[in-house]
Amino acid sequence: MCSNGFRILIMFLFTAISFGLNGFMPEIPVIFWYLISINIFSFILFGIDKLNATKDRKRVSEYSLYYISFIGGIIGILLGVLLFRHKLNKRFFLLVEFCIFLFWTLLVYLVSTNFETIKDLIK
């Protein structure tokens, strides 16, 4: 995952997957499918990075991990940090991930408290 084009492609791929899953179960909103799939992917990607670190192979860049967590995979990354015990000594990485977590927490709070207003704006 080196180029920005590939990262954007991943985001569109997960968006397409989300709409496809929503076609099978329309009672679950597309955004939930997106968040579920991107968090599963981020958790697996973090596990691959941990495996590659132990076998001295090419690693997943931290910028790619930041990107994946910023576009919605923050829970998968944080679970990967805790379960794989990987990158615990990297203070800057943890600080950036914590800031992304705060961003997503604030976003979810704002959307949930203003949901009716957002629905009215969309109509």
Listed in sequence order, the residues at least 6 apart from 2 whose beta carbon sits closer than 8 Å to its beta carbon are 61, 64
Domain map of the chain by residue range? 4-122
Of the candidate ranges 26-35, 89-98, 114-123, the one whose mean pLDDT is the lowest: 114-123
Q: Which of these, 115, 104, 117, lies nearest to 71 by C-alpha position? A: 104
The reported pLDDT for the residue numbered 4 is 67
The reported pLDDT for the residue numbered 77 is 95
pLDDT band at residue 3 using 50, 70 and 90 as cut-offs: low
Kind plus residue range of the DSSP H or E element containing 110: helix 91-113
Q: Which of these, 65, 66, 68, 72, lies nearest to 104 by C-alpha position? A: 72
Model confidence over 78-105: pLDDT tens digits?
Answer: 999 999 999 989 999 999 999 999 999 9
